[in-house]
Amino acid sequence: MITVKNLFHSYNKDGNYQVKDVSFDIEKGEVFGFLGPSGAGKSTVQNILTGLLQLQQGEATLGGYDVKNMSKDMFNKIGMSFEQSNVYSKLTAKENLHFYGKLFDNPTRDPMELLKLVGLADKADIRAGEFSKGMKHRLTFARSMINNPEIWFLDEPTTGLDPSIAADIKDIIKQKNKEGITIFLTTHNMFIADELCDRVAFIVDGEIKLIDSPENLKLQYGDKLVKVEYFQGDQVLQKTLSIVLPEDKELLRNIIENHEIRTMHTKEATLEEIFIKVTGRGLI
Amino acid sequence: MKLFSSFVKELKIASRGFYFYIEIFMALLILVLFLFVIPDNFDSKKSEYIYLDMPAEGSEIYLKAILDESIEGKAEEVKVKINKEEKKASLYTTDNSRIYILTSREDTIYMADKERKIAAIIGMDENYNFHYEYYLQGYESARYKDLLKILHVHSSDVIEEAMDNIEVRPLLINYDSLSDRENMLPSILVFNGSLMGLFIIAAYIFLDRQEGVIKAFALTPTPVWQYLMSKIGVLMLTSIVSSFIVLLPLMKLRPDYLLLLVLLITTAFFSSSLGLLIASFYKDIIQAFGTIYIFMMIMILPNIAYFMPSWNPIWIKIIPTYPMLEGFKSVILGSGDTSYVLSISAGFLFAGMILFALANHRYKKTLVV
């Protein structure tokens, strides 16, 4: 559905590239996470794919359309939820969606239905300028669905939202993915990526360091550990032991046989830990 | 349909904003000023203060000569405030001036010295010849001073006779003209319509940039030119409404309103496109303000030539507001030169199209800036 080959981009066109030799493919119906710290080049790649930035070097296709020569039809098939909310503050929530819907050639969704979906139905007639940051973000998210996109670009879709709203947004994303929509998710939130993505790409300094599924990454890079808390007399002791190393396995067996266990958990490496391990960089 | 939707949206946004009402408010304010404050024709009469330092017989001859020129054929007894004191004076009103005959030399000198008025003392010698003392303010031109020096070389009878023998023949007599007040209207139309449009459209663009909505628009199948054109549409409408608010009550049915509409639309299109192009180079209005200010100042320059026809260098005619002023004047006259108005309208349309194409190209390239 999305193909990117040897993509380079330099804002000053001076050979100092902000995106360097980026290549990847995204299958139809896949949720692809583009992960990296701020300034890594995530938004640049996304802006090139959506036509907001001109493709300078390399190849990219979106739903069969060449990104270099953007077709009007292609825009009917894509949706984009921006990280920075960008709605008309002087228009009401409903007017914002109603106007945006008129700009597409294909049938669009009912604004009220979308507002209901993101929990803004009771705020439909209030001007977006009076909204909180989170409400504007939800309106921007709702707007990205107005044209029933086949390819959905989501830039930090849950940033700044309270946990219950973020959970609702994640449910909507999962539901849309079940309907077969291809999702390109840009984020630095590894928990979201872990929960939603079929595959993730780690991007640092404009280069993709790795592409794989979260499960494979955990298997490949995560340490197989057990964290155990047990009683020794009146004291509660805690140990983190490898289930691979023979001496740790022996120690674990000894603890189980001779002590009362308080808690015991297997400890999986998080995507964030793997990211740091692979790229040598944090996510902030 | 998409263009219309964009236009309706822009109209809603404009009607809920600040700039839309500035133009309408200014138009109403101008109308009120023109209707109730500004006179139809400005009073250009000069006030002159004269003391006749001569025997009564001589004064009578002189005053009779002034009386012959006065409009009402009689003098009016008035009081003039001189050095905090109200003093009696005789006022003679002629076509060009108000002549106050004062009663003392000191009062006359006081009016020249302290009140900065035109003053003269006319005396008579023992041979019954008039002699004149003029009190000047220092700013008078050399030509004026020279004229005063030679004015009394001959007696006034000789000068008068010479003037009567010179025939002044106008080449055109059946021409339409505007009153002083009406003559200001083209300048108002250019400023409130076109120049404000240049500034306001830039403000609209920067507001959209700040909100980031132009990026969202760019991800739709609707071309960017429709987004830009919808903004221009609002500016055109505002220009038409504000111009009609001023013109209809003042000029009634005299102007050719259809021709006015053509000129308003094309000039608004030109200036809005120029505003769009300027705004495309900057991120916010603070950065753009200097350039917009320079452009607006240049555009205001032809007003000087309009109100002072003696200063009319060729280069000023290149500034677009020059033909705008002439075009609006022609339309307001009613019996103006239709082909001239249509030809400059075509010029503004063509120039506007070029500017609009350039602006469209710039916005397509700088969407994420």
Q: Do A86 and B212 touch (CB under 8 A)?
A: yes
Q: Do B212 and A100 touch (CB under 8 A)?
A: no
CA angle B124, B107, B109 (to 5 degrees): 70
- Best to test chain B binding among A87, A100, A127, A147 (most B CBs inside 10 Å): A100
A130 close to B (CB below 8 A): no
Mean pLDDT of all residues belonging to chain A: 89
CB A113 within 8 A of CB A143: no
- Best to test chain A binding among B13, B219, B227 (most A CBs inside 10 Å): B219
The distance from CA B119 to its chain's CA centroid, rounded to whole angstroms, is 31
pLDDT at B367: 60
A41 close to B (CB below 8 A): no
What tens digit of pLDDT does each residue of B94-137 get?
A: 888 899 999 999 999 999 999 999 899 999 888 878 889 999 88
Q: Do A102 and B2 touch (CB under 8 A)?
A: yes
**Residue percentage of chain B with pLDDT more than 70:** 98
Mean pLDDT of all residues belonging to chain B: 89
- Cα(B217)–Cα(B293) distance, rounded to whole angstroms? 29
Q: Do A47 and B213 touch (CB under 8 A)?
A: no
Place of tokens 């929509």: A181
Q: Search chain B and give the residue with CA nearest A49.
A: B219
B364 close to A (CB below 8 A): no
Amino acid at A92: T
| C-beta contacts of B316-325 below 8 A and 24+ residues apart | B320/B270, B320/B271, B320/B348, B320/B351, B321/B190, B321/B194, B321/B195, B323/B347, B324/B186, B324/B189, B324/B190, B324/B194, B324/B263, B324/B267, B324/B348, B325/B186, B325/B187, B325/B190
Residues of A in Cβ contact (< 8 Å) with B205: none
**Residue percentage of chain A with pLDDT more than 90:** 46
What tens digit of pLDDT does each residue of B194-243 get?
A: 788 888 899 889 988 888 898 899 899 998 899 999 999 999 999 999 99
pLDDT at A283: 62
Mean pLDDT over residues B343-369, rounded? 88
Give the pairing type, strands B118-124 and B46-53. Answer: parallel
Residues of A in Cβ contact (< 8 Å) with B213: 86-88
What tens digit of pLDDT does each residue of A127-142 get?
A: 999 999 889 999 999 9
Q: Which of A72, A88, A103 sits opposite B211 (nearest CB)?
A: A88
CB pairs under 8 A between A and B: 71
Per-domain residue ranges for chain B? 2-38+179-365, 46-164
What tens digit of pLDDT does each residue of A62-111 get?
A: 988 888 888 888 999 999 999 888 999 999 999 999 999 999 999 999 99
Mean pLDDT over residues A250-275, rounded? 85
A90 close to B (CB below 8 A): yes
A72 close to B (CB below 8 A): yes
Phi and psi (nearest 5°) for B76?
A: -110, 130
Mean pLDDT over residues B328-341, rounded? 87
Q: Which of A47, A84, A102 sits opposite B5 (nearest CB)?
A: A102
Q: Do A90 and B212 touch (CB under 8 A)?
A: no
pLDDT at A248: 84
B278: pLDDT strictly greater than 90 = yes
What tens digit of pLDDT does each residue of A223-258 get?
A: 777 888 999 888 899 888 877 778 888 998 999 999
pLDDT at B192: 81
